[in-house]
Chains A and B, each alone.
Chain A
Amino acid sequence: MRWALIIAAAAPVALATPVLAQTDPPAMQMPWPTSPPQTQPPAEPGDQDDADHSQMDHGAMDHSQMGHGAGADSEVGNVPAPEPPADHAAERFYSADEMEAARAQLRREHGGAIVSSIMLDTAELEFGDDETSFHWEGEGWIGGDINRFVFKTEGEAHEDDVESAEVQALYSRAIGPYFDFQAGVRYDIEPRSNRAYAVLGFEGVAPYWFETTGALFVSDEGELSARFESSYDARLTQRWILQPRVEINLSADDIPELGVGAGFTEAELGLRLRYDITRTFSPYVGVSYETTLGDTADYVRADSEDVAATRFVVGVRTWF
């Protein structure tokens, strides 16, 4: 059972493997012409390597008298490129220390920038049958293009009682054009089991622009669980955006203490309509359907609580 669930838990990861591995995006369907071109095309300039000009002494040439033509179809030589020099020309005129410092800054300012972001993806009031709850989900990051520190948090509060609250601190590394590998720790502040987890996951953009996240969690009690999330921004207009969203949680273990059964534990389907007042501030309304599944649902029933709930949500998405 445990191994079956590990496999099940890993399935979303496995599904994402082609994109994780960053194999090529799907080839475009090409409108192939019905017949090949009839004429021999002109030779590509620069591809002709057979001329040997290496014996020429270019240093001694008088350019103005060189007139042997450099037409597109003339033969370009294949002299090898010179070795890159080890010196820095500017150090002939300016102090080597100053130039060294300037070069370090040049590198920072041309590809080495550190950028950060804090996004509150959902901050919403959820209106259920008999109570109102507050739900949040956010993520921040800081770093360069490849290596980043990522912080995630999500949770839910009812009235003045925080029902669940988790934080994650992750190292993130870009492993392909669209996906990041993430590894780190998660800590559940609520419920009060105070579990800590090791996290191994991915985050990125799947084909068709599905924002996709998956993670495996191993708790300090040795329990294995997994989570898979995906959302899609359907652009109705430039500013009205309809976002369907799915989250699936799984557990490999039966954890009575947390009311979690082995297998699929919870699923959430959401549909949110947001309006980008600016790209960084978007109020939204929506509907969220949450359900517990399998043995987890049995625990919920045993507590005489609702297995599933549909809620209307009102919230704001903001980032800076």
Chain B
Amino acid sequence: MFSRRRLLHGAGALSAGLVAARAFPAWAQTHAHGLQSTLSTLSGEDIALTVARLHLNVEGRAGHAIGLNGTVPGPLIRLREGQNVRLRVDNQLDEETSIHWHGLILPFQMDGVPGVSFPGIRAGQSFTYEFPVRQYGTYWYHSHSGLQEQEGHYGPIVIDPAHHDPIAYDREHVIVLSDYSFLHPHTIFARLKQEPGHFNMQRETILGALTGRDPPLSDQMEWAEMRMDPTDISDVTGSTYTFLINGHGPADNWTGLFQPGERVRLRFVNAAAMTIFNVRIPGLPLTVVQADGQNVKPVTVDEFQISVAETYDVIIEPREDRALTLVAEAVDRSGMGHATLAPRPGMSADIPPLRARPRSTMRDMGMDMSSMTMAWPGSPEAAAQGGMDHGDMSMRDGANAPQVRMGPGVQSIAPMPVERLGDRGQGLEDVDHRVLVYTDLEALEANPDTRTPTRSLELHLTGNMERFMWSFDGERFSEVTEPIPFRRDERVRVTLVNDSMMAHPIHLHGHFFELLTGPDGKRPRKHTVNVLPGGKVTFDLTADAPGDWAFHCHLLYHMHAGMFRVVTVRPLDETRP
């Protein structure tokens, strides 16, 4: 039997040591020369990870956190395509933990979701994950237990290709974006349940209307009539979050070094619990070369939005001997993470001010008329389509989504959701430079499966911002009895319809899916897709990974509120000749 006392003693000694060590792995130390010159990365076939509590120093203030091997983010796990890996995880917490390898294609029993893929790792116990590495690219790992991810239980994974890397670069930095609060995550969740909009300190006000900063009162009243808040962009905001880059708050000024003229590869991972970031380096174009670990045809932009759990690899070519500011602005503009890229440590560049916070639009309510793709009600085309009558623009008409269970958890049904793959992320609609959209992405390599789907599946992303209830098809996971079933190797066209007024990054474990954009056979493959408010996203999925898999919104508190499902792929046994 385990000695609790010994465990506590050990944990205490460990955390004391960690504070002294500043709790950053070398690649995330305040001045990072780039991965190739650091030693802290974990590689090889046998990797040991220890999960324990520690104190994280955020801008000079110590907060409670959960780290891996004593750091937040956890160590970079660097693997090579084609190798096998054994990852032993020791849980030194006084609660259960787990690690999910986000984006990795592996046997379902190694996927790390307690209650779906395995029982979890109990306090004081250890578990060894073992799987072959079948892919390359930028990925990450994080806890799938409780709300631990919010407390720092995440880290990056980089897998080098077995052979030639089509992306040339001289130096690279891993950029892990996250959000940290000194509030306990259970308190954050309770606040969201107790008071909708609790963390929103950018609401429209009467003074704002009088001074012209906010829309006129008549306009505010239209939203109030619907009991909706157009400024409710993020549930948890900069009013409690410090936005971290590689575990560093803005004042900590993490600095990544480069030599002018180098091609620098930045591997962005959004490991935040709740924050979608808009990323830019003022004055420097960004060439996106990889999305969710999958190479894409290079596309050069000035800014991109990275939703929670997505990864993007970007090449920059700074030519001048001067510092640059890397800006990761929260989508609701309630704060930003920023860091410096510079030829030498100790440099800094101008930090741009926060831009004006975005405001939800009719399009975010799923009732945009300007880009209608369906026949006009009453027109001959509409009659031909079976007499669809969308003349009733009710915001909560169950007839517009017959599969949704209309209960207290469903505040609205988008009456006319439109495909939004080509839309810029919230707040970026009007910025006057190039912004990445999903339709810019084109796979570099041919898609492995280009069959026409044999069936289609529609799922609605539903919620009630007043009650902070979130679900698929109106049912929280806690009240769902059946999984979403797939036949092994079948190809299915999946449409996600966002009936809510918030964006949801939807993640399917164990699979990549092809977004329905780009040329045939070169569609971008993703493990996580951001579905804009009131919009739709369609992708084709080959259910080629037998087992049970988690499928959920990657906004941590949305998932915790019930926006989660289990996907099954059967049969489990190999039956093909």
Contact = CB atoms under 8 A, between A and B. Distances in A.
Interface residues of B, number: 111
Given A77-B454, A145-B408, A102 B381 contact: no
B454 A238 contact: no
Instruction: Give the residue among A24, A56, A237 with the most B Cβ atoms within 10 A.
Output: A24
A147 B247 CA distance: 40
Given A25-B395, A85-B570, A145-B409, A103 B115 contact: yes
Nearest to B495: A46
B487 A82 contact: yes
Contacts of A107: 115, 477-478
B455 A99 contact: no
B397 interface: yes
A66 B477 contact: no
B362 to A, nearest CB: 8
Contacts of B451: 58, 61, 63, 66, 68, 70
B205 A237 contact: yes
A236 B146 CA distance: 38
A67 to B, nearest CB: 6
Contacts of B16: none
A77 B455 contact: yes
B560 A110 contact: yes
Interface of A is mostly: loop
Contacts of B548: 88-90
Interface in A286-305: none
Contacts of A64: 448
Interface in A160-189: 174-178
A69 B491 CA distance: 13
Interface in B170-203: 189-191, 193-195, 198, 201-203
B221 A208 contact: yes
A42 interface: yes
Contacts of A17: none
B203 A70 contact: no
Contacts of A68: 450-452
B478 A110 contact: yes
Given A145-B469, A178-B227, A99 B115 contact: yes
A219 B378 CA distance: 57
A28 B374 contact: no
Interface stretch (A30-38, A127-135, A252-260): A30-38
B449 A66 contact: yes
B545 to A, nearest CB: 11
B109 interface: yes
A108 B564 CA distance: 12
B169 interface: no
A28 B226 contact: yes
A158 interface: no
Interface residues of A, number: 92
B471 to A, nearest CB: 7
A81 B226 contact: no
A109 interface: yes
A90 B116 contact: yes
A178 B516 contact: no
Interface in A41-72: 41-42, 44-47, 51, 53-54, 56, 58-61, 63-64, 66-72
B376 A37 contact: yes
A33 B453 CA distance: 36
A85 B485 contact: yes
A200 interface: no
A80 B412 CA distance: 28
A42 B489 contact: no
A94 B118 contact: yes
A144 B408 CA distance: 12
Given A28-B395, A83-B485, A41 B373 contact: yes
A70 B204 CA distance: 46
Interface string B337-378: 000000000000000000000000010010101001111101
Interface string A99-132: 1011111111111110111000000000000000
Contact of A30 (B117, B367, B454, B476): B367
A109 B205 contact: no
Interface string B472-493: 0000111100111111111101
B456 interface: yes
B547 interface: yes
Instruction: Give the residue among A33, A82, A88, A205 with the most B Cβ atoms within 10 A.
Output: A82
Contacts of B490: 58, 79
B372 A279 contact: no
Contacts of A29: 222
A30 B369 contact: yes
A73 B540 CA distance: 13
A145 B450 contact: no
Contacts of B572: 89, 92
Contacts of B411: 177
A64 B374 CA distance: 35
Instruction: Give the residue among A27, A70, A105, A116 with the most B Cβ atoms within 10 A.
Output: A70
B316 interface: no
B431 interface: no
Contacts of B115: 99, 102-107
Kindly list the 3 A-B residue pairs having the minimum CB-CB distance in the complex, ordered from nearest.
A111-B562, A106-B115, A111-B476
Interface of B: 96, 108-109, 113-120, 146, 189-191, 193-195, 198, 201-208, 221-222, 224-227, 362, 365, 367, 369, 372-376, 378-379, 381, 392-397, 407-412, 448-458, 464, 466-467, 469, 471, 476-479, 482-491, 493, 495, 516, 520-521, 538, 540, 542, 546-548, 552, 559-564, 568, 570, 572, 575-577
Given A40-B375, A70-B491, A111-B562, 6 more contacts: A26-B226, A28-B393, A45-B516, A78-B455, A105-B120, A106-B113
9 contacts: A28-B362, A41-B374, A70-B491, A77-B455, A84-B482, A90-B108, A115-B194, A145-B476, A235-B205
Interface of A: 22, 24-33, 36-37, 40-42, 44-47, 51, 53-54, 56, 58-61, 63-64, 66-72, 74-85, 88-90, 92-95, 98-99, 101-113, 115-117, 145-146, 174-178, 205, 207-209, 234-238, 279, 319
